[in-house]
A and B are shown apart, each in its own frame.
Chain A
Amino acid sequence: MIRVILPPHLRGLARVSGEVKLDIEGQATQRSVIDALEASYPMLRGTIRDHVTQQRRPFLRFFACEEDLSHEPPDAPLPDAVASGAEPLLILGAIAGG
């Protein structure tokens, strides 16, 4: 079971509060987690990854275990603590503006 913390805007869009819990088949990677997230919450399709390119939106970041994983390859394994559910994967919006 993977724990994901969404930014407030996307929690509102998905109509969830608190963490999202996902069951992943196979290895836990950024791609497999986002695939599972979008399957359970299809209203999030296109909001984290671009609909066409499937690239992470530029102002979003993936953090876990006090590390910025945003630039890791999408199929790289997530840390064991995330895969085991001990730590959440954080998806957050970059602070931008003034």
Chain B
Amino acid sequence: MSKVRVLVGTRKGAFILTSDGKREKWDVGGPHFAGWEMYHLKGSPADPNRLYASQTSGWFGQVIQRSDDGGKTWTQPGTPPGERTTPEGMPKGESNKFVYDTSTETGKPLTTHQWYDGTQHPWEFKRVWHLEPSLTDPDTVYAGVEDAALFRSKDGGKSWQELSGLRGHGSGPGWQPGAGGMCLHTIVLDPGNPQRMFIAISAAGAFRTDDAGKTWRPINRGLKSQYIPNPEAEVGHCVHRIAIHRSRPGVLFMQKHWDVMRSDNAGDSWQEVSGNLPTDFGFVIDVHAHEPETIYVVPIKSDGEHFPPDGKLRVYRSRSGGNEWEALTKGLPQSDCYVNVLRDAMAVDSLDKCGVYFGTTGGQVYASADAGDNWAPIVRDLPAVLSVEVQTLP
């Protein structure tokens, strides 16, 4: 029987939740890295036992962790305890090193972006928000970081190199941080085209590469954001999350700061599909594993009030790719609920029926084993959940 492994990053450690394919009884493992902010954990599609984790701290900086046994044990890549150098003599500890590319040979090295007060400010690495393993190579993994840039490791996380063509895009000096910092938080790899990937930055917008990361174009046409001077500007939009179905990578769904959007041409243009949602502010969006037109969001009241409208935690599902939405409430609190669901905190499994999972800032991780019709908490009292990823295992 299949198994499910749910990887949960929280403000104070990581947790690994496991169940068989029925998804009724769960084992809760952890905390791993207790006391550290675990922004994101994700497994390699090419080797499910290979996991990557972003461990970070305002005090101690960034640490990358890797597991090769499905989360039982972890090491910093290239740095086993007690060893000082690699056989090649390479210093250990390089896996935590994210250095912006300032060479003249590779792209257009930038030194500044727009700061809150309108002045130019140096790019400063703060943390890794999102880790996206390659679809085909367990040793290749991408990292989206704050201040916004994209890094890649081709050696299992031992060392990282910036794909500087993104930060070197001509619009870079106009990017500016949102309230949560200027972070690259979404990386979507096209399963049908290894040259293509999509990323999103708060608050710059969405970008696409068609040459494996060398060059990038903004893909924000059709987005309208009333909180920027030109609501239809090429960049400056606060995109919260992008999701695709792997069978149809040219169709993108987006939860923007406000507005749920859809593109049928790989981001060349977008249409709003918020439809009858009670509010179209939110962070997460995801797609059913087997139904490319079935999508999920969790509406949040507003950018000033980060909790569900009316104190009711409701997932909304559209079976028509947007515009027509139904509230999913069975098993979710329908009164006095004032948690948030952050952008990386929803995922789906690929079992039949499709499982849907999300975590809250109140520390609950909810699961539905029937595509959202019924929900139950796997755990109720974790630290605030930052990210949820799911692995479907044989």
**B58 sits at the interface (CB 8 A):** yes
Cβ contact of B35, chosen from A12, A42, A51, A60, cutoff 8 A: A12
Contact code string B318-355 (vs A, CB < 8 Å = 1, else 0): 00000000000000000000000000000000000000
B59 touches A57 (CB 8 A): yes
Contact code string A46-63 (vs B, CB < 8 Å = 1, else 0): 111011100001011000
B59 touches A43 (CB 8 A): no
B92 touches A43 (CB 8 A): yes
Distance in angstroms from A63 CB to nearest chain B CB is 15
B contact residues around A52 at 8 Å (CB): 97, 99, 125
B97 touches A10 (CB 8 A): no
Bound complex: CA A59 to CA B57 (Å): 10
B59 touches A9 (CB 8 A): yes
B contact residues around A38 at 8 Å (CB): 93
A7-28 residues with Cβ-Cβ distance < 8 A to B are 7-10, 12-15
Nearest to A51 among chain B residues (CB) is: B97
Contact size class for A? 20 to 34
**A45 sits at the interface (CB 8 A):** yes
A47 touches B61 (CB 8 A): yes
B contact residues around A46 at 8 Å (CB): 61-63, 93, 96-97
Distance in angstroms from B75 CB to nearest chain A CB is 8
**B91 sits at the interface (CB 8 A):** yes
B contact residues around A45 at 8 Å (CB): 91-94, 96-97
**B87 sits at the interface (CB 8 A):** no
Bound complex: CA A50 to CA B62 (Å): 10
B59 touches A42 (CB 8 A): no
**B84 sits at the interface (CB 8 A):** yes
- Given A39-B84, A43-B81, A44-B93, is A9 in contact with B61 using a C-beta cutoff of 8 Å? no
B contact residues around A10 at 8 Å (CB): 60
B96 touches A9 (CB 8 A): no
B59 touches A59 (CB 8 A): yes
Distance in angstroms from A44 CB to nearest chain B CB is 7
B contact residues around A84 at 8 Å (CB): none
Bound complex: CA A93 to CA B60 (Å): 8
Bound complex: CA A44 to CA B91 (Å): 12
B96 touches A59 (CB 8 A): no
Cβ contact of A42, chosen from B34, B58, B92, B125, cutoff 8 A: B92
A contact residues around B94 at 8 Å (CB): 45
B63 touches A47 (CB 8 A): yes
**B36 sits at the interface (CB 8 A):** yes
* Residues of A bordering B, CB below 8 Å: 7-10, 12-15, 38-40, 42-48, 50-52, 57, 59-60, 93-94, 96
24 residue pairs bridging A and B, Cβ less than 8 Å apart: A7-B59, A8-B35, A9-B36, A9-B59, A12-B34, A13-B63, A38-B93, A39-B84, A42-B79, A42-B83, A43-B63, A43-B81, A45-B92, A45-B93, A45-B94, A45-B96, A46-B62, A47-B60, A50-B61, A57-B61, A60-B60, A94-B59, A96-B58, A96-B59
Extra 8 A-B pairs, beta carbons < 8 Å, given A7-B59, A46-B96: A12-B33, A12-B35, A42-B85, A45-B91, A46-B61, A51-B99, A52-B125, A93-B60
A-B pairs with lowest CB-CB distance, top 5: A45-B93, A42-B92, A42-B93, A47-B60, A46-B96
